[in-house]
Amino acid sequence: MLKTGDRAPDFSNPDADMNEVELSQFRGKNLVLYFYVRDDTPGCTTEAIEFSELEKEFAKLQTSVVGVSRDDCIKHGEFRDKHGIGVRLLADKDETTSKAYGVLQDKEVDGVKRRSATRSTFIIDKQGVIRHALYGVSSRGHAAEVLQLVKELK
């Protein structure tokens, strides 16, 4: 698991429009990188909508918000368009970024083990250092909590 003070792991993932997005593109501004389980599920939809609704507030604080899941680009595009999601959504089909950020865990459901993402958020500062590593967060109200943490960054 990553912690405050760690250098944020590099990543390179396609977004819903199949444009490659890399950590280095955010140098000089803060980044909220949030991981969620799956597009179009109740909690994940709530979280994405709430981050989108606060996107202008984050922008005033020189902060970009990016969501990551193991869904593909096409599914992200459908999810974005269906719900009016404004934040960028990155596809992590090969789980490289999810593994680097330590958000995957094995869960047992009905006697079957499955690998799943733990809803997690990382606030990365302008120098690429993790200022907050939040694992196992709740979806509802989380975007507002993260906005407050970004406001407190020095």
Bridge-based pairing state of the strands 104-109 and 112-117: antiparallel
- Strand, helix or coil for residue 2: coil
Which one from 8, 44, 89, 146 is the annotated catalytic residue?
44
Catalytic (active site) residue 73:
no
How many helices and strands (H and E) does the chain possess?
A: 5, 9
Please tell me the distance from the alpha carbon of residue 137 to that of residue 153, in angstroms, as a whole number: 20
Give the relative orientation of helices 73-83 and 42-53 as an angle to the nearest 10 degrees. Answer: 70
Q: Which residues are marked as active site? A: 44
